[in-house]
């Protein structure tokens, strides 16, 4: 069984290297990616920074223009090329980078919200599609030093997902439809990509995760 301390030791080993390292945390919606990323970063202090893939969501107005509003969260509703380019800059670690951040309270990305100075030794990036094998997502695997895939119990994950949607204003029916609709389609899409991960972490190994 993998404990948080085991994961922290792996992350610390990456941070202790001679060069900037990038750790990726992948998995389906509500698998605990953000929780784990921030818990690791908090433990590592100023040597680590968290940069989420969700900062590259297309803006609502652009999703509406493209007719993709009801598919928000699918691979083609992100600026994937922009995300790959950012990860390349972060992996090089030679210049200050200001990354975007997704704010759930407004359902929009905010530019230049996450500063990452060259002094940061480990960038932790998390998102659904880090291991996807289609362009341009497939370029990420060569830029990220380690990728972990979180694979929780499905019933627990969906319950957390419904709870999340309700916290951000959706009714119970709307939350359940989203969780079992577009969110589930995205989860099914990335499930096979777990085989490309360096480590698969299952729900029973993560009792500390909050919703």
CB atoms within 10 A of CB 94: 9
Q: What is the pLDDT of residue 148?
A: 97
Dump pLDDT digits (tens) for 153-164.
767 777 777 776
* Tokens read off for 9: 């030791």
Question: Which CATH code is given to the segment(s) 4-200?
Answer: 3.40.50.300
> 49-78 burial, b for 16+ CB within 10 Å, e for fewer?
bbbbbbbbbbeeeebeeeeeeebbbbbebb
Q: Is the pLDDT of residue 137 over 60?
A: yes
Taking the domains of the chain in order of start, what are their residue ranges?
Answer: 4-200
């Amino acid at each position: 069984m993998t404990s948080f301390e085991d994961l922290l030791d792996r992350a610390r080993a990456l941070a202790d290297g001679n060069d900037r390292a990038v750790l990726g945390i992948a998995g389906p919606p509500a698998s605990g990616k953000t929780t784990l990323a921030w818990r690791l970063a908090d433990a590592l202090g100023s040597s680590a920074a968290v940069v989420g893939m969700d900062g590259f969501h297309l803006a609502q107005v652009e999703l509406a223009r493209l007719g993709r509003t009801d598919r928000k969260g699918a691979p083609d509703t992100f600026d994937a090329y922009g995300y790959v380019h950012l990860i390349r800059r972060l992996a090089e670690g030679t210049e200050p980078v200001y990354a975007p951040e997704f704010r759930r309270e407004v359902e929009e990305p905010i530019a230049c919200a996450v500063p990452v100075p060259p002094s940061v030794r480990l960038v932790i990036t998390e998102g659904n599609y880090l291991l996807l094998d289609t362009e341009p997502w497939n370029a990420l695997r060569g830029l990220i030093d380690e990728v972990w895939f979180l694979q929780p119990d499905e019933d627990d994950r969906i319950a957390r997902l419904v709870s999340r949607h309700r916290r951000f204003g959706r009714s119970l029916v709307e939350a359940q439809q989203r969780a079992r609709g577009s969110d589930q389609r995205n989860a099914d899409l990335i499930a096979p990509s777990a085989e490309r991960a360096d480590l698969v972490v299952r729900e029973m190994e993560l009792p500390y995760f909050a919703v």
